Every structure is written in C-alpha cells, then in structure tokens.
Amino acid sequence: MLRAFRFIIELFTERHGVVAFAFFLVLGILMREAPTAVRESIVSSALSTVFYPVQLFASSINDFKSLQAENDHLKEENARLRQETYHASEGLQELARLHTLVRFDDKWDFPIVTARVVGHNPGRFLTTLVINRGTHHGVKDNMPVFSMNGLVGKISKAMMTHSRVQLLTDPNLKLSVLERRTRVVGFLESMDGRLLSALIPSHAGVAEGDTLITSGLGGIFPKGIPVGTVHKVRKADLDVMSLMDVEPFQEFSTLEELFVMQKEPEWIIQELLNE
C-alpha cells in the first residue's frame, strides 16, 4: 500500500498529467464495470493507502506516550524500592543495637525503657538531650541513661511524654567512678562542658588506657556501667591526687537510641545535686 501511495504521489509531482489522467480513467471504468464487492474492496484499499501515513504517525505518538508513562512509572517504583531498602537497612542496624542491650538486662535487675533522641540543647557544647519517653512510660528524675557503648548521663527532668537527659559533659553532673584494674574510686566531671576529667588518688597507679566504670556510690548509678578510658594522666593541685583526661566510650553527638534504667535513687547526696 505504501508503494502504491508513493507511485501516485510521484505521478503528480513529476507532472505526468497524461499518465495520471489515463490511470484514473481506466480505474474509473474498471470500477464501474466491476461487481459491488470488488468496488468496495478497491475503495477500502485506496483509503487505507491514503490514510496509512496519518495512522502510522498517530500510532507512533500513542506508542511514545505509552513508553513515557511506563518510564515515569518505573522511576516511581525505583524511588519507592530505594526508600524501602533504606528503611530495611536502618531497621537491621537498629535491631543489632537493641540486641546489644541484652547484656545490660542480664547484669542488672532493673527494667529498661528504650527511647529515641529527639532534641539537643542549643548551646555551644552538647550537655543535654531530649528523649521521647517520660513519666507516662515510667521514666522519672535521676534515672540512669546509657547507650549500648556505656553511660550517657541521667534524667534531669521527666515530663509526661518527653524527658531531658543530663549528659556526662554537663559541668553540674558529678559522678563517682571506679578504675577496673586497681579498684580505686575517684570522681569524674567536666570542667568546660566538653572534656571529661577524673580526680583519682595518685598512689593507686592508674595509667593511660585503664578503664573507668560507675562505682555504685551515690545511690543513682548502679555499679559496673562502662564510662570511658584514661587518656592522659596529669598532676593535680594536690600531690596526693592525679588529674586524668577521660575519653568516654560514647560519642554524644551521634546518639540515636538511649536506654533508661528504671532504677530510682537509693539515697542521694543532696549537696552534689545542688552544685
């Protein structure tokens, strides 16, 4: 059909008027003498030949639109699958972190509340966090807060659905610590809201790389929660004491999940809390 159409076009474009006139004259006579079925077949073929390019063009446009729609659908599906993969990966990481919590459950006979960090203090140094658990979930003031790596701080203010966590880097938080190797007790605090330091008797022989844990004194933190390692030993103002730079096990700026130990204080040294 396409060849016949091209042939007709060439007859007119090349100005073969006589040939074209003779062609259509013969075609008209044949159609007049031909049976009705033959005439209908010839007309149908002619119309199909004439409109074939138009139909082909329209079909191409429809195919293009269909391919474009399918491409858009595939892009949306790809984006959705990427998002699901990301959430699945995050879920696996969270599951691994929660599995680590089992060792804390086995060590202390206190219920544990899992919480998420939802806010930081706006100051220059990170000293407080906000978690999405409060009194409605059994969280109370002065309950210990830790991560899978070690001690983080304590609850300083528990509200209905949220709580404020006082970090070890807060200068107002004083902590009694125990050096695991020598079993000597000292006090840990932050002087500038950024670095941790511990004051420990010099005669104990505490050295760089030694591990500090909670001593259990003070009635708030149970004994044995990892705190950090001794990074550097320096002389203190008193000859009988050594001042030690402490590197905590936990990087406070990267905290996502926290665990609140539902341990109420056994007794509190009020003077330390008010400093």
> pLDDT tens digit string along 185-241?
999 999 888 889 999 888 888 889 999 999 988 889 988 899 999 989 888 777 788
Q: What is the mean pLDDT of residues 162-189?
A: 93
Which CA distances in Å does 136 have to 110, 133, 148, 156? 18, 7, 24, 16
Task: Convert 238-266 to b/e letters by CB count within 10 Å (16 or more is b).
Answer: eeebbbbbbebbbebeebeebbbbebebe
- What pLDDT score was predicted for residue 145? 95
pLDDT digits (tens, 9 = 90+) for 103-151: 555 566 788 899 999 998 877 788 999 999 999 999 999 999 998 888 9
Average pLDDT score over residue span 266-270: 59
Model's pTM, two decimal places? 0.61
CA distances from 18 to 7, 13, 78, 270 (A): 15, 13, 63, 120
